[in-house]
Structures are given as C-alpha cells and as structure tokens.
Amino acid sequence: MTLNELLIAVRAIHFAATVLVAGVVFFRFFVAEPAIGVASSAALNRLRINWTRTIWIALIVAILSAAAWFVLLATQIYGESISKVGSQGGFWTVATDTRFGQVWCGRLAMAVLLGAIVLRAPSQSRAWSFAAVVLAAAFLASLAWVGHAGASPGIDGNIHLTSDVLHLLAAGAWVGGLLPLVMLLASALRESSIGDMIVPHAVNRFSWLGIVSAGTLLMTGIINTRYLVVTIANLFGTDYGRLVVVKICLFLAMIGVATVNKFYLTPRLASAARSLQRNSLIETLFGIGVLLVVAVLGIMEPGGHVHAHAEYAAVPADAAFVHIHSEEGMADVTIAPGRAGTSRATIRLWHEDLTELDARAVTLSLTAPAAGSRPVIRPARLLADGSWEVGGIQLSAPGNWNVVVQAQLGPGRRLALDSPIVIEP
C-alpha cells in the first residue's frame, strides 16, 4: 500500500470515528433524552450504556487514527522514513510550526476532555450533556481547519470556512446519528415498552433533525463546490470534480432513502420498525461512502485550484529547491549549493496566475533540523531580474531544514510561506 493510500485510509477512519462521536452525543441530547423524559427501565439503562461505549470506542479510534494521520503527513512533508523524521525533530516541528499540527494538538485535548465528561458525568444530567455537545461539536468542526477551507485567505476564505464548519456539523447530526437510531430501534424490537413510549417520539425528532441537516448539507455543499471546483467544466473535466459528482450522487441516494423513511415508514412505525432499521443501515452505508470520498478529496488539489507551474530556469545539480504555494501567492526557493556550509538563496515570488508578485521587502528564515534550533533570519535584496537574493548563509548541518519566506506586499498585506527543504551533507 502506498503512502497516499494509507493516508486516505486513516483519514476515512478518522472522519467516520469523529462523525460518529458527534452523532451519538447529538442524538442523545437532541433526540433520545427528550423522548425518554423521566422514563426509566433496565432496558433504557442498557441502551444508555451502549451509547456511552460507542462514544468511547469511536473516540479511541479517532485518537489513534489522528496519530497515524499526523505521522503519515509528517513523513510525506519531509519525504523521509518515520524513524528519520522522528530523530531529526520533524514531528515536533510539524506539531508546533504548522496549522495542521496546532489544530491536531487542540483536537487531541478536546477528545481527552470529551472522553472524561462522557465517562464521569451522569447520563441524565442536561448540564453535563450540553458540555459534551459543545465539545463534540468543536471536535468535529475543527476538521475544517485542516482542510482546503482552512487554507483559504480573506473574506472568501472566512465564508468558505464557515460553510465547511456547518457542513461538518450537519453531517455529524444526520450521518453520525444513524447508528444510535439503529441501536434504539433494535432495542425497541426486543423491548415493547421502549417501542411503545419512546420510539415514535425519537423517530419523529430525528426525522426533523435529518431534514434540517440535509438542507444545511445541500446549501453548504453548493457553497463549497463553488469555491473548490469553480466551474461546471472543472466538475466533469477534473478528477477532483468527478469525485465531487460521486459524492453528490451518494448524498442524493441518502436523501432518497431518508424520504422513504420519513413519509412512508415513519407513519407506519408500529409495523415498520424493522424496515426502518434496515433503511437506516442503508443510509449509514451511503454515508460511509461519502466519508471515503471526502478522505480522497482532502489529499487532492481542488479542480478550481489546478494550475500549471511556472517555467523555471535550470536548477543547479547541487542546489536544494522547493516550490511553496498558497492562494495568496507562491515562492520558489533555491539554495546553492544545497549542502552544509556557506550557501546563497534565491527567491522568486509568483501570483496564482503565474505572473510575478511584486513585494516591497522579503525576509528569509532558515531553521536547522536539530531540536531547539533558533531560526536564522536574513533580509533579501532585490535583483534586476525581479528575484530576491540572500548571500552568505551558513548551513550548519545536513537534514530537513525549515524555510520561511515572508514578503511585505503593501500596507497591512503580508505573505508568509513555509516548507521543509533538504540540505545534503
């Protein structure tokens, strides 16, 4: 299995586990407990325990898959083995100096705190349950900051990020709530008392929650597609766009099954509980398909962002080179010679459309791979050909250095780009 395939697998597992965590917490707070009310029985206690166990299992899977995701991404960034990245302090650099690492650390803390609340808090306590809802929502929504939306700048970026957060929360409420609904229906088929007094209210509440969630998914999906795919041509003419079409088809299939559940099976609940349970499982399978597609989309370049890279002059054979890009701008950094000793760095700045990006000042920062190293920060000088140069750089040791390019573009406008760069012995 390739690194990309492993990354897709762990991302899919993490998304599924995170959505399930939030879904069970949401289902208990917004659907089950209001329907249960003050009712109490051994069967209901067993059901609550099973829901708690499901949250805990999903949290453990989410934490383990997040750790695997972090390790795989760090090795992909550095292009080295896990042992070499670890020995050179790469994991610490990714955890502390990248948006992904910082969000990852915050999400780990949220997962641990949520697990403690779920384990210790009384199941019927509305205050503790609300705290769990807030944490579960934050744990799920924070995935938006490690996706394409989290990297988008400006007002459009904020709109896209808000849309992605709502998209994730709606997916958690609907897709994540299907399994606890199936568990409730299975318990009702065994215990007639649950079926008679609780299931009709719970199914009705979940049905309305599903309608609101589906509507939110539809609207935010349109917004996200507009930002990521941009044109109809990209929707059908790029691999990213075609996967989005697959995701849309799976979503429509879920809508179809949910419509049957809402308007045909729910009114006949007394005789159709088993059919409703089966259809909810089918919805879950479609939802898993959607999450798998999302896992693949997350490592692909969006159809609307595809561009041809600039034509570079020949990079010297002994030079280290890295291309760094974002929606705000791109940088080509060449360090020659790319080995330990005295070197010279050349920086070229580009717009997304490959025209040269004008800057008032440029600063280069290089940090050695050794843990605790302080960055060497040097101002660059503008050359006649539009490139920027920093001479007399002392590279103390070989390894995966971190390079940061900061450009002053105008009043209040700055561009900051960072990436690892390999320095040879």
- In the numeric block, the tokens 């809802």 are attached to 133
Rounded-to-integer distance, Cα 368 and Cα 399, Å: 8
Q: Is 75 helix (H, G, I), strand (E, B) or coil?
A: helix
Model confidence at 195: pLDDT above 70: no
Confidence label for 132 from pLDDT (cuts 50, 70 and 90): very high
pLDDT at 309: 45
Cis before residue 153, ω within 30 degrees of 0?
no
pLDDT at 215: 93
pLDDT at 142: 94
274 near 283, Cβ under 8 Å? Answer: no
The domain limits of the chain are 3-305, 320-423
Q: What is the mean pLDDT of residues 28-35?
A: 91
pLDDT at 5: 82
Q: Output the furthest CA–CA distance in the chain (Å, rounded).
A: 83
- In the numeric block, the tokens 């089918």 are attached to 282
Q: What is the DSSP string of 146-181?
A: GSTGGG--HHHHHHHHHHHHHHHHHHHHHHHHHHHH
For the stretch 118-130, pLDDT in tens is 887 666 677 888 9
Does this model's pTM top 0.95?
Answer: no
Least confident of 70-74, 146-150, 315-319, 411-415: 146-150
Model confidence at 15: pLDDT above 90: yes
Q: Where are the alpha helices (DSSP H) in 238-365?
A: 239-260, 269-297
pLDDT at 412: 67
Q: What is the mean pLDDT of residues 382-391?
A: 89
Q: What is the DSSP string of 352-400?
A: TTSSBPP-SEEEEEEE-SSTTPPPEEEE-EE-TTS-EEEEEEEE-S-EE
pLDDT at 310: 47
For the stretch 340-369, pLDDT in tens is 899 999 999 987 666 788 888 899 999 988
Q: Is the dihedral of CA 75, 80, 81, 82 positive or negative?
A: negative
Q: Which residue type does 178 have?
A: L
Considering the segment(s) 3-305 as one domain, its CATH architecture is Up-down Bundle (1.20)
The CATH H-level superfamily of 320-423 is Macroglobulin (MG2) domain (2.60.40.1930)
